Structure 1
Amino acid sequence: MLSGHDVVEICNDKWKTYEFLRSNNIGTPKTYKNLDSLHQALDNGEINFPIVIKPRWGMASMGIYMADDMKELEVFYNKSLKEIGSSYLKYESAITPDEMIIFQEKLKGQEYGLDVINDLEGNFVKCIPKSKLEMRAGETDLGQVVASKPFDGLAARLSELFRHEVILSVDCFDCSDELKVIEMNCRISGHYPLSHLAGINLPAQIIEWLEGKPTNSRYFEYTEGLYITKDLVPRIIEYKKP
C-alpha cells in the first residue's frame, strides 16, 4: 500500500517536509538547507546552539549529529557528508549534491511517534501515539502507548492535507506550547509494532478494505499506558562441529 508520488516526495525530502509544514502553519523546528543560511541565522540570533545536523535524504538515524559550537559544527558536518558518501544515502542525496545536509534547532520536550491511519480513500480513521523513551538505529526500542486526544487535531490536519492511503508515520515533539513535527514517512515505521501489541490490527483492516468491507472500529481499539519494548533475543543460528 503506497500513497501518491507527491506525498512520498514530501516525506522523503526533509527540506520539502519543512517547507510543507511551514506553508500549512504546522509547528516544526527552524531548519536551514546549507551552511551559508545557517551561519547567517546564527549571526542574526535566529538560532542558537545546539544544532542538529542530519542528511536531507536520510533514514535510520544515519549521519545525525548534535553540534554544541562552531568547531563541532564543522567536524560533524564533514563526518555526516562522509557517511552519506559511503552508504546507500548517496543515491537520493545525489538529487541535491550541494545541499545534502540540513540543520535544525534542537527541540526541548517529549518526543512522540504517531501512526496516522487513513482508509483507502484517504479518510481519517485513527491516531495512535507513542512516547519515544529509548531509540536504536532510528527506531523506537522502548515506548509507551498513550491517549490519542492531545494528538488528534494534528493527525486529522495531516490526514486532510495529504489524503494518504493507510498510514502516515509522524515524529513530533510536545514543546509545551505546541506540537512540532520533525519528520514524516508514508509507510509502516519502526514504532508501529508498539501499536500492534497494544491492540491495533492494521493488517487485518487492510485485507478487509481490499475486500470492499467498511472500517471495523474494533481493529483500532488499544490499551493506553502500556510500556512496550522490542527485545533483541540472542539465538544460535548455526553449529559447526569443532
Structure 2
Amino acid sequence: MNILLTSGARRIDFVGFFHDALKNAGINGKVIVADPEHNAPSLQAGDENYVIPHQTDSRYMEAIVEICKKHKVKCLVPLNDWEVPKLSAHKEELEKIGVSVFTPEPNIVDKVRDKGKYRELLKSFEVKAPLSYLNIEDAVNALENNEVSFPLIVKPRNGSASIGVEIAYNVEDLKFAYELAVREIKESPLDDATYKEPEDNVIIQDVIEGEKFSVDMFNDLDGRFLTSLIRKQLDMRGGDVDRCITENPPVLLEIARRIGENLGHAGYMNTDVYYDGTDYYVIDINPRFGGGYAFSHIAGANIPAAIIALTAGNEVKDDWLTQDSDLELARHDIVVRIDKQKEKYAL
C-alpha cells in the first residue's frame, strides 16, 4: 500500500508515523511525500519525494494525479488546510483511480473554512462560537449597543497559520487591523482559497479569554465518528502548539462527538476551543490532519494505523483511538541536510 502525504513541509515526524504503521501492520508499501518547496525537510524523509506546484497553480491537481497513477497510491492524506478545498473538489476523480482520500466533501470544507458562519453552523449542534461581525460598521454598532466590548480580534474568515490576525483595543485599531488583514489576504495563498473578495473575507470577533484546547475529531471514510483527541495548549509558536498537556475532559469529549457526528466528515478535523471559565467556544476548525496530533501520537494514539486499516478495509483497533491523559509534552527542532538527489519534480 502506497501512501501520499501532501504538503509535508516540516512534518518529518508524520512520515515516520506512517512508516511505522505500515511496518507494524505487516503491509508492504511506500510513504510518498509531496511539497511545493524543494527544501521542505519532509522531502528528505519519504520513500519517494516530489516537488509539486503550489495549490494555487493550475497544474497542482495534474501533479497529484500523476503521482497517484505512477505509484498506484491507495491513500492520500493532506497536511495543510490550504490544499484541502482543491483536493476535496477532485475527490471523486481520485477515488476513481483507487485512492482513498482523507478529506471532507466540498460542502463540509466550505462550511468549516468560513469562520463567519460558525455560530449558525454550530448552534444546531449545541456548540458555542464567539460573537462575530463581517464588517466594521456592524462591529461598531455592536460596541455602541454594549453587545461586545474591546478587545476584538480581526482575522481572515478562512485563515491559516495566524496570517492577518490582529487584536484591536479601540476603533482606530479596528480600522487599521481590518485594512492590514485585507492586504495580507491579497498577498497570501488565502486569496486563492475562497471565491470571496479580500474585503469580504475578514471577520471581527469577540475575544475569548481563558484556557485553550486543541480538540481533534477523526471519522472513517463514510463520515462515522470514531474518536476525539484533546490537548490543553500551554504555548504556541508560529501558529502551532509548542507545549501542551493531554487531557480527556468529558465536556470536551462530548463537544467533539457532537461536531464529528453532525459534520459527518471523512478523515481528520482539528479545532481550537477556548474556555472562559463558564462556556467552551469553538474558535477555529481545520479540515485536515493537524500538526498537533504528534503530541497525541506520543501519548499513545495511532491514527496513521487507523487510516491504513480503513484504506485496507480492516478493523480499527480501539487502542489506536485513545491517548494517555495528563502527559505534558513539548516540541523540539532537528536539522536535516537537503539532499537534492532525494527529490523529483512531478511536472
Q: Does the pair score TM above 0.5?
A: yes
Return the offset for 1:79.
1.7
**1:208 counterpart = 2:309:** yes
Moved more, 48-57 or 120-129: 120-129
What SS does the corresponding residue of 1:90 show, helix, strand or coil? helix
Tell me, in whole angstroms, the C-alpha distance in 2 between the residues paired with 1:62 and 1:161. 29
Which segments of 5 or more consecutive residues in structure 1 lack a partner in the other structure?
Answer: none
Tell me, in whole angstroms, the C-alpha distance in 2 between the residues paired with 1:139 and 1:38. 29
Please name the residue that 2:323 is paired with. 222
Q: Please point out which of 257, 261, 269 is paired with 1:168.
A: 269
* TM-score of the superposed pair, with normalisation by structure 2: 0.65
Please name the residue that 1:192 is paired with. 293
Moved more, 63-72 or 219-228: 219-228
Q: Please point out which of 114, 123, 130 is paired with 1:29.
A: 130
Tell me, in whole angstroms, the C-alpha distance in 1 between the residues paired with 2:143 and 2:124. 23
Return the offset for 1:209.
1.4
Cα-Cα RMSD? 1.8
Aligned positions, number: 238
Please name the residue that 1:3 is paired with. 104
Q: Please point out which of 19, 24, 27 is paired with 2:120.
A: 19
Question: Measured at CA, do residues 89 and 219 of structure 1 come closer, stay the same or move farther in structure 2, by a change above 3 Å?
Answer: same
Q: Contact between 2:208 and 2:275, CA under 8 Å: does it hold in 1?
A: no
Moved more, 92-101 or 158-167: 92-101
Tell me, in whole angstroms, the C-alpha distance in 2 between the residues paired with 1:170 and 1:159. 11
Structure 2 letter corresponding to 1:222? Q
Please name the residue that 2:187 is paired with. 86
Q: Please point out which of 179, 185, 202 is paired with 2:280.
A: 179
Moved more, 53-62 or 159-168: 159-168
* TM-score of the superposed pair, with normalisation by structure 1: 0.91
Please name the residue that 1:137 is paired with. 238
Tell me, in whole angstroms, the C-alpha distance in 2 between the residues paired with 1:94 and 1:221. 38
Structure 2 letter corresponding to 1:105? D
Return the offset for 1:148.
4.1
Return the offset for 1:48.
0.4
Which segments of 5 or more consecutive residues in structure 2 lack a partner in the other structure?
Answer: 1-101, 340-347
Q: Contact between 1:56 and 1:93, CA under 8 Å: does it hold in 2?
A: no
Moved more, 88-97 or 174-183: 88-97
**1:63 counterpart = 2:164:** yes
Tell me, in whole angstroms, the C-alpha distance in 2 between the residues paired with 1:120 and 1:235. 34
